[in-house]
Amino acid sequence: MSFNLHRNPPFRAEHLGSLKRPQYLLDARYKDAKPDAELAPLEDKAIKDIVSTQLDLGFHAIGDGEYRRHMFWGTFWPTLDGMEEVQNPPIETFRMYVPDIAAFMETGHKPGESVYCVGKIRHTGKSTYVDQFEYVKGLLPTEKWGDIKLTLAAPNWYHLRYVDGKAYPKDVYANDKEYFADVAKAYQAELDILYKAGLRNVQFDDPNLAYFCSEKMLEGWKKDSNNTVTADELLGLYIQLYNDCIAKIPDDMHVGVHLCRGNFVNSRHFSEGGYDRIATKLFTTLNMRTYYLEYDTPRAGGFEPLKNLPANKNVILGVITSKFPELEDKEKMKERIYQAADIIASGTEGGTREEALKRIGVSPQCGFASHAEGNLIDIEGMKRKLKLVREIADEVWPGEP
């Protein structure tokens, strides 16, 4: 599914899901530690306001800002049978060279929580995401329900971070293949529930895939004698896991993946490195319709890997940073989009800039608040960034959503 002039996702102007939370909501959740029953009406109010903001700014992929979540991955994993959330998890279970874990340790932190497999993984039949989607539906007319975007946790999130052999008990799963098979079934069940509720626009948030671009991570992988597969082999396993997760979705459900490079204290990122080393495999074997890529700084490399983008797939260029309030130069950002289009065109025989632009959109490079406190930017600064995204889209693709 490539872009067209109809109202199908993805859209020319996109954002990546998480948005800055109002201070009253943060205070109620953390400072005052209000119970869920008292939090709910405050979340409702905040979501109503942020949905209105998105509509006023001219966005179509409307979301709830992830305001009911503590972190971007939400509540999916802990509610699966066979998975258990652990507070202050044992540090020896983690691969210390995985970029987010390394960043935690370098800044004097440690993971405050993690989720571990303790038994056979099964979906319970109850979705913790569907109520989030239903609430946004109630704020929009029926004709906009297909635009609503819901972000999902990466299916590999609680695998890469753990030392080989710690992702699941050996008496539960004999190998990764068995473990991934049950993870895929759980995602299939979740996506089926969400589809039946009317969801048509899904974005997976995945820092792990971008980690395979990191020289530091790859060097750490090579030195780790516990690993039984190469990093490239594991990337292939993750791609197959994704393909299995989405294997049963109907044709009219749009799925995309955001390759996140991380948000942490003081707007710190986790990983660096261009997409070059994974682009061919990522674009040609991963069955996603859209790739949301981070391109706000040189840490992500150049646009050259985009020449591998197949003609039936889309890319959203995250050229606007969500980390800091300084506004980018609009004309320079438009020029970057045209540069990317030229490179995409060069990968197709007889390709043109005009044709390539039909498969491109623009967005901030990441969410504004993957973790609840958010990046070093306030709500008004966020709105200015989103307004800039919309203006760029309107000038590059006039009249398109």
The confidence band for 1, taking pLDDT boundaries of 50, 70 and 90, is: very low
Q: What is the pLDDT of residue 262?
A: 65
Residue 5 located in a structural domain? no
CA 68 to CA 210: how far, in whole Å?
Answer: 26
CB 315 within 8 A of CB 308: no
**Distances from the Cα of 214 to the Cαs of 224, 283, 397, in angstroms?**
16, 18, 34
Residue 7 located in a structural domain? no
Residue 301 located in a structural domain? yes
E-strand ranges in 35-112 read 81-87
CA 334 to CA 332: how far, in whole Å?
Answer: 5
pLDDT tens by residue, 148-159: 999 999 999 999
pTM for this prediction:
0.96
Question: pLDDT at residue 221 above 50?
Answer: yes
Strand 113-122 and strand 254-259: the pairing is unpaired
Percent residues over pLDDT 90 in the chain: 86
The confidence band for 216, taking pLDDT boundaries of 50, 70 and 90, is: very high
The confidence band for 91, taking pLDDT boundaries of 50, 70 and 90, is: very high
Question: pLDDT at residue 305 above 70?
Answer: yes
Residue 76 located in a structural domain? yes
Question: pLDDT at residue 4 above 80?
Answer: no
* Average pLDDT rounded to a whole number, residues 80-100: 95
CA 203 to CA 210: how far, in whole Å?
Answer: 15
Question: pLDDT at residue 270 above 70?
Answer: no
The confidence band for 130, taking pLDDT boundaries of 50, 70 and 90, is: very high
Q: Which domain holds residue 379?
A: 23-396
Residue 173 located in a structural domain? yes
- The strand pairing partners of 194, in sequence order, are none
CB 262 within 8 A of CB 271: yes
CB 153 within 8 A of CB 77: yes
CB 140 within 8 A of CB 63: no
CB 320 within 8 A of CB 361: no
CA 36 to CA 64: how far, in whole Å?
Answer: 17
pLDDT tens by residue, 38-65: 999 999 999 999 999 999 999 999 999 9
CA 332 to CA 392: how far, in whole Å?
Answer: 10
CB 164 within 8 A of CB 228: yes
H/E element, 222: helix 215-223
Instruction: Map residue 232 onto helix, strand or coil.
Output: helix
Q: What is the pLDDT of residue 263?
A: 63
**Could you tell me which of 328, 378, 374 has the C-alpha nearest to residue 16?**
374
Residue 9 located in a structural domain? no
pLDDT tens by residue, 335-357: 999 999 999 999 999 999 999 99
Residue 114 located in a structural domain? yes
Q: How many domains would you assign to the chain?
A: 1
- Print the SS3 string covering 312-337: CCEEEEEEECCCCCCCCCHHHHHHHH
Residue 10 located in a structural domain? no
Report the CATH number that the domain containing residue 233 is assigned in CATH: 3.20.20.210
**Distances from the Cα of 318 to the Cαs of 116, 284, 292, 296, in angstroms?**
32, 21, 7, 6
Q: What is the pLDDT of residue 142?
A: 96
Tracing tokens 């197949």 back to the chain, one arrives at 310
* CB-based burial label for 37 (10 Å; 0-12, 13-18, 19+): exposed
Instruction: Map residue 203 onto helix, strand or coil.
Output: strand
